[in-house]
Amino acid sequence: MSINIAIIEDEPAIARNLEFTLKELNPEIQVLNKMDSVKSSVDWLQENMDACDLLFMDIRLTDGLSFDIFKIIKPSVPVIFITAYDHYALEAFKVNGLDYILKPFERDEVANALQKFRDTRGIKSTGNDKIQELLNYLQTNENKSYREAYLVHFQNKLIPLPVEKIHWFFTEQEVVYAHTSDGKKYIIDSTLDKILAEISPKLFYRANRQFIVQRWAVKDIDFYFNGRLIINVEPRPHEKIIVSKAKAPEFKKWLDE
């Protein structure tokens, strides 16, 4: 089945990888264009939206959020968002039922997203309504306050653990631990996905599927092979905190803000 797709992604390596994966999954897929900013996307989509069957859109672009595109033009085709555990996406998408894939994405994730598109192709879409609901949701939560403490067990007591004292979160065998600046660790009755939606994205970053690190806990960064990074934090964790090549630019951008 021929599918015309446009990709909006500001990291060229990820855009190329996505195009390669899509064509590998379906040789009949045509990538009409790859764009890296809100402005270039708006300019192109205003003239070419009708030629597209599907859009893949990164959340964060060089000049803003991809959601800003929809403040200027209305989408007339389905959208699959791309995010690197972005705090905007995980909570908002679950609320509004929009489809997304996580960076660094796996081939199976892209295949599943395409299959969902095929299953609903030709059916009257409510995607536009969902995107408008998403914009409304984000606007409502724009000045959202973030969690300041977690209630944790400590020596047969319950104590409030201030979020600012947590230097990193770690998950192992489905148990989440919070490690504090004084080297102690506490069990948090939650998941990393839920925690990420509750804490400030300016203060915390999800380095990979196991770790969320706090900005001021980062001591330095080592270059690792294949373009990856190792984050050195205090107190030192029991294993390396590795950032993938795909996420490395975003992580450095976050730390530099």
178: CATH: 2.40.50.1020
**pLDDT given at position 133:** 66
Asked if residue 103 is part of any domain, the answer here is yes
- Check whether residue 190 and residue 155 sit in a common domain: yes
From 123, 141, 176, the end of a domain falls on: 123
Residues 202 and 90 in one domain: no
CATH of the domain at 52: 3.40.50.2300
Check residue 136 and give its pLDDT: 65
Judge if 70 and 182 occupy the same domain.
no
Sheet containing 175-180: order of strands? 185-188, 175-180, 166-172, 211-214, 204-206
Last residue of a domain, one of 106, 123, 140: 123
Domain count, the chain: 2
159 with 151: CB under 8 angstroms?
yes
In a domain, 45, yes or no: yes
CA 201, CA 214: separation in Å to the nearest integer?
9
- Kindly report, residue by residue over 145-158, the tens digit of the pLDDT: 788 899 999 888 99
Confirm whether 15 is domain-assigned. Answer: yes
Of 123, 158, 179, which residue sits at a domain end? 123
Q: What is the largest CA-CA distance in the chain?
A: 65
159 lies in the same domain as 193: yes
Question: Domain for residue 138, yes or no?
Answer: no
The pLDDT, as a whole number, for residue 124 is 46
| 46 CB neighbour count, 10 Å cutoff | 10
Are residue 166 and residue 251 in the same domain, yes or no?
yes
Q: Is residue 235 reached through a cis peptide bond, with omega within 30 degrees of 0 on the bond before it?
A: yes
Domain-embedded: residue 223: yes
Cα 38 to Cα 64: distance, rounded to the nearest angstrom: 7
Between strands 175-180 and 218-223, the pairing is unpaired
pLDDT tens over the chain, length 257 residues:
689 999 999 888 889 999 999 999 999 999 999 999 999 999 999 999 999 999 998 887 878 888 888 888 887 888 888 876 555 555 556 554 567 887 778 889 899 888 888 887 755 444 556 666 666 666 565 556 788 899 999 888 999 999 999 999 999 988 999 999 999 999 999 999 889 888 888 899 999 999 999 999 999 999 998 999 999 999 999 999 999 988 898 899 888 87
Residues 10 and 119 placed together within one structural domain of the fold: yes
Are the CB atoms for 170 and 213 separated by under 8 Å? no
Task: Indicate whether 115 and 162 sit together in one domain.
Answer: no
Which pLDDT value is given to residue 135? 65
93-117: per-residue pLDDT in tens? Answer: 655 456 788 777 888 989 988 888 8
Domain for residue 211, yes or no? Answer: yes
Per-residue tokens: 169:
């979160």
Shared domain for 85 and 176, answered yes or no, is no
Q: Is the pTM of this model over 0.75?
A: no
Q: Are residues 29 and 113 in the same domain?
A: yes
Same domain, 91 and 24: yes
Position 206 in a domain: yes
For residue 90, what are its two tokens? 């995980």
Structural domain of 27: 3-123
Same domain, 111 and 164: no
Asked if residues 238 and 196 have their Cβ atoms less than 8 Å apart, the reply is no
Supply the pLDDT for residue 32.
95
For residue 159, the model assigns a pLDDT of 94
- Shared domain for 90 and 153, answered yes or no, is no
Look at residue 112 and tell me if it is in a domain. yes
